[in-house]
Chains A and B, each alone.
Chain A
Amino acid sequence: MSREALQESLSALMDNEADELELRRVLSASDDAQLRSTWARYQVARAVMHKDLLVPNLDIASAVSKALADEAAPVVAPVAAVAGRWRGLGRLAVAASVTLAVLAGVRLYNQDEVMGTQLAQNNVQPTLPMPQVQGAALLAGYTESSEPVSAQQSKASTPSQLNWHEQRLPGYLRQHAQQAAMSTSDGVLPYARAASLENR
């Protein structure tokens, strides 16, 4: 297959206009280093056009591939009769972990934190380690600014720090909201903000 045809397929894929044949063509050639670099360049170009956040050298795909390679072991089942069923389950598990890896990658990608590859590799267990994924977006919790790790991890390592903030922050927030609610004539919005803090 010519490289031009492949690039055309890739371009169509990027524009969301690829048919199934083209998608298969690109995917089957996705081990090709040149194609991968072209793909990455297209992504950068598109991100620039759309003014998206960008971490250019974050190769989630490689991380996912590596994760999949590590995952292959449990698929092998000794009894031939159940092998088919297990293979299906294994696939499901792999699919789940790929989804998770991509989700984790994308989330951090958006947050401009270069933790994506690491997370993509760590989260390959078929069980869903959801707390870890949520931790990155946990707005209500008080996450440490210095380390982009999950809330659970930072809580475990530094209980006293979080306690200092956790003890004081609710009071500060309420003081701020209540003062605003009491001091404006159009107090409806500040009132609603103050009330929403009491509902937690």
Chain B
Amino acid sequence: MRGLSYLLLLGGALAQPVSAADAQDWLGRLAEAQQQQSFHGTFVYERNGSFSTHTIWHQASGGAEVRERLLQLDGPVQEVVKVGRRTECVSGGLADQVAEGQSWPARALDTKQLSAWYDLRIIGESRVAGREAVVLAVLPRDQHRYGFELHLDRETGLPLKSLLLNEKGQLLERFQFSTIEMTPPSEADLKPGSSCQPVRFVESKAVDPKAWHSEWMPPGFNLNSAVERHSALSSQPVACLMYGDGLARFSVFLEPLNGATVEDARTQLGPTVAVSKRISTTSGDVMVTVIGEIPLGTAERVALSMRAGDMQAAQ
């Protein structure tokens, strides 16, 4: 990637300290811009096997709650309307898998926490959607997460383009505005469409924290939520544990096999990897499936590290 090679060229000690501090400032501006800057525009999202176009209307006026409406422009109607940190409505199947305990309040970007696991650097300038942009590299400090290349609007700090890159610098997904205007959307634009329905939560309950533990976690990843729900296929209880490092996320699903003989499996869907490993517990075999925007090797290791029971009890 051009960005990464720039980085190698610029990697001299002279440029580094200034650049790192600047880069943190820019990330701070990004977080602030989401809360302060109104805009509307259209963007594309692309990953392996999928390309789609969307419109976004974003209203942020000082003290009042942020209102945001997202609408997919091609293919089936996909729509989300958010008010503050609450999802007011969604269309179609876009939220039919959300359990109540899972719809946790939105978390803000924590630049300090991020800089522990990512190296932040300004690597150049660019132009996106007709606007001047600053290119910020968010590079992982270890092999357990992917890097981002963020193009932030020079004037407002809003992200105009975001590329997710794997360890070889290959592009995993692209998010990019094609047009954007920094003006507040009208009330009519923010009004949900007819197919936008309130979120109906899937029945679920909290997971007993002693039911599962992991013998290894990639550094910086913390448990964000843990719920249990019944599989629509087998009515078996399936535990779902969600982890994040402030930027990357993965979910661990644990489903009893009930004596079924199922092989391990793995696949990659654009930025998202899925790894299934069979583990043995005292109450029968369980399939562990790790899904997330993390490298395959990390997902494999997480899957292999899951154990039934309490950490203390295991030792």
Contact = CB atoms under 8 A, between A and B. Distances in A.
B45 interface: yes
A176 B251 contact: yes
Interface residues of B, number: 73
Nearest to B173: A193
Interface in A165-187: 165, 167-169, 171-187
B8 interface: no
Given A171-B97, A179-B102, A196-B50, A165 B78 contact: no
Given A171-B232, A182-B98, A198 B272 contact: no
Interface in B13-66: 31, 34, 43, 45, 47-50, 52, 54, 56
B264 A195 contact: no
A80 interface: no
Interface in A143-200: 143-146, 158, 160-161, 164-165, 167-169, 171-189, 191-196, 198-200
Given A143-B265, A168-B233, A180-B249, A195 B78 contact: yes
A188 B24 CA distance: 21
29 contacts: A139-B48, A140-B269, A145-B266, A158-B263, A160-B260, A160-B262, A161-B261, A164-B262, A165-B276, A169-B289, A172-B253, A173-B269, A175-B253, A176-B249, A179-B97, A179-B98, A179-B225, A181-B80, A183-B104, A183-B106, A183-B225, A185-B108, A187-B80, A188-B175, A189-B175, A192-B52, A196-B52, A198-B94, A199-B75
Q: Is the interface of A mostly helix, strand, loop or mixed?
A: helix
Interface of A: 139-146, 158, 160-161, 164-165, 167-169, 171-189, 191-196, 198-200
A183 B103 contact: yes
A99 to B, nearest CB: 24
Contact of A179 (B173, B251, B269): B251
Nearest to B162: A189
B255 interface: yes
Given A145-B266, A198-B92, A179 B242 contact: yes
B65 to A, nearest CB: 12
Given A172-B253, A196-B52, A196-B270, A184 B107 contact: yes
Contacts of A144: 263, 265
Contact of B233 (A167, A176, A183): A167
Given A165-B265, A168-B289, A199-B76, A192 B45 contact: yes
Given A140-B49, A169-B274, A194 B94 contact: yes
Contacts of A179: 97-99, 102-103, 225, 242, 251
Interface string B90-132: 0011111111001111111100000000000000000000000
A178 B199 CA distance: 11
A160 B94 CA distance: 29
Contact of B87 (A140, A169, A182): A182
Contacts of B31: 186
A183 B52 CA distance: 22
Contacts of B78: 195, 198
Contacts of A168: 231, 233, 253, 255, 289
Contacts of B50: 196, 199-200
B271 interface: yes
Contacts of B233: 167-168
A193 B272 contact: yes
A173 B56 contact: no
Contact of B267 (A169, A183, A194): A169
Contact of B85 (A146, A185, A191): A185
A168 B287 CA distance: 11
A184 B66 CA distance: 13
Contacts of B287: 164
Interface string B69-92: 010100110101010010100001
B286 interface: no
A196 B274 CA distance: 16
Contacts of A139: 48-49, 267-270
Given A172-B289, A178-B95, A192-B45, A164 B267 contact: no
B137 interface: no
B240 interface: yes
Going nearest first, the 7 A-B pairs with the smallest beta carbon separation are A192-B45, A185-B106, A175-B97, A176-B251, A196-B50, A195-B78, A164-B262
B256 interface: no
Contacts of B43: 188, 192
